[in-house]
Amino acid sequence: MLFLSAICASAQQYITPVRTDILPTSPQTAAVIEQQVPKPSLLTGAVDFSVPLYTIELDRYTLPLSLNYRTNGIKFYDDPGVIGYGWTLQPALRVSRTIMGRADEKTDNVAEQLKNPSDMSRWEYAYKCISPHVTNPFGYDSQPDIFKIALPDKVLTRVYDKSTDTFVGMGDSEYTVRTGDKMETITVLAPDGVKYTFGENKGAHEYIKVPQTGIDSLYISWLLSEIELTSGRVIKFKWSERKCQDMPMIEQKTYLDGHGIRRDLEFLKVIDAQSKIQPVRGSYENLKKLQSISFGGSSVQFVYKTIAYDGVHDADFLRRIAIVAPDNSWRPIEIMRGQDYKDINLLKNIHLSDKDVYTFDYNSTRFNNITQHYGTEALCYPVDWWGYYNNAPNLSFSIPVTFNEYDRNGPTGNKHRETGINREINVNAMKANILESITYPGGGRCTFTYDVHTFPTIEAETYGEVSPTMFSRGGGLRVNRVEMFDSDGESVGYR
């Protein structure tokens, strides 16, 4: 049997890589939780920088808020979020889910079905696990979903035990995580007695919507609703709908001929050159932004500005954070973005006060997805194998691959080649929009230079390529030099 994976796209949001049996959490949620999970920068080579904003304090409980920058390069379809490319508000304050196979709360686990087997053959059981789609309500689920629970000081990884409505995982057993059969609310009881409630109301969820499957929406994020302290006092969080940029959803698809799949799964047939790749026609819906945090008569308010980022479509960007005291006096923190439309997705300044200002400068290369095709402008997909910008005029998300066709009797002798697609890395293009310098309050400055990752030569996993592509570089950037300058512009050290 021979399979071939390819890259294809549909509306909304970008994910890479994704298997056909996985529905990932939204890129917005993945970005903020990724930054909270500890990751040694010496290993990854990522720029890692944090600007402390304010620490909420109530009954000896503390919740520090900060803006964090971490990246190994800005991918072409990355979401700039409400702050800018590479930046997130921390802590993440949410539970995220990657749906493995089918959603845990929507289908029965195949292990439970096999305890009382019917007259179905093993092939029919297998078919119900893999076909036709991850949200098929008539299928079985053979894989538990993966949950990332981002507490203010820790990220837990769990899987769901439907029989007890609890979450289980390796380690961190001192934390108790529970939900109901509809999985609308998730609660966490920490060892110090503090209780965290996620998704307590309809406004505290994000979901993925896949039409024509019998299931309208699946929760992928549960946002923090409240923190109940041991004293009985509560810190409350309010979320509101976020306008955001539309971007493609990228996923791997497999070249299979649906008409060649017999009911007993006796054989599968690789498609011929006339067949088309069909993407999942889904979208991330009801994406949210943090509106306020209320505690002990005080609050932190998040003020957004809606901007037509491309001159037509609106997106919400964080403009100000206001610290409001019980007497309604307040202190602003100003968040400034680039003024030119090409820089609108870049954070330029953070004004903690009139004197405490951070300034950020980025690589001058910007993204472009317009190319000339037969004398007219056309959308292109200028990404390398890892999704980083390579400035190539690709008119398709397919991968450059040659594959053989098989049927139940073996090779048919036919071959097919996807051509005209450049997925090679472009180091200069890969540096588009990445942070290159920070100017601190007081005038000191830090600069970063980058190079691409290198590794022992590997072969691209293209499942049947006659002349496989070999890699020894790619997968993002790493910092190879950090240099500090004083307020007079003199170098004071590097590493």
Record the pTM.
0.79
Q: Which residue has the higher pLDDT, 260 or 70?
A: 70
pLDDT range class, residue 270, cuts 50, 70, 90: very low
pLDDT digits (tens, 9 = 90+) for 229-244: 999 999 999 999 988 7
pLDDT range class, residue 268, cuts 50, 70, 90: very low
Whether residue 423 has pLDDT greater than 80: yes
Mean pLDDT to the nearest integer, 84-99: 92
pLDDT range class, residue 194, cuts 50, 70, 90: very high
Euclidean distance between CA atoms 329 and 347, whole angstroms: 27
> 11 to each of 8, 134, 210, 285, 449, how far by Cα in Å?
11, 18, 11, 12, 34
pLDDT of 170: 77
pLDDT range class, residue 93, cuts 50, 70, 90: very high
pLDDT range class, residue 37, cuts 50, 70, 90: very low
Place of tokens 């409630």: 197
pLDDT digits (tens, 9 = 90+) for 444-458: 999 999 999 988 887
Q: Which of 321, 320, 319, 369 is nearest to 344 (CA)?
A: 319
Q: Which of 15, 12, 19 is nearest to 250 (CA)?
A: 15
Mean pLDDT to the nearest integer, 196-215: 76
Task: Work out the percent of the chain whose per-residue pLDDT is above 90.
Answer: 39
> How many CA atoms are closer than 13 Å to the CA of 115, on its beta-carbon side?
4
Sheet of strand 87-90: strand arrangement: 47-58, 61-71, 87-90
Least confident among 27-41, 188-202, 322-336, 458-472: 27-41
Mean pLDDT (the chain) is: 76
pLDDT of 119: 56
Mean pLDDT to the nearest integer, 321-338: 94
> 193 to each of 153, 175, 268, 344, 383, how far by Cα in Å?
14, 10, 54, 43, 48
Q: Which residues pair with 347 in a beta bridge?
A: 337
pLDDT of 55: 96
Whether residue 256 has pLDDT greater than 80: no
Q: Which of 117-126, 270-279, 442-451 has the highest mean pLDDT?
A: 442-451
> How many CA atoms are closer than 13 Å to the CA of 141, on its beta-carbon side?
22
Whether residue 311 has pLDDT greater than 70: no
Least confident among 113-127, 170-184, 359-373: 113-127
Euclidean distance between CA atoms 299 and 321, whole angstroms: 10
Euclidean distance between CA atoms 351 and 153, whole angstroms: 26
Whether residue 42 has pLDDT greater than 70: no
Least confident among 23-32, 268-277, 285-294, 359-368: 268-277
pLDDT of 433: 96
Euclidean distance between CA atoms 436 and 447, whole angstroms: 6
Do residues 296 and 63 touch, judged by C-beta distance below 8 A? no
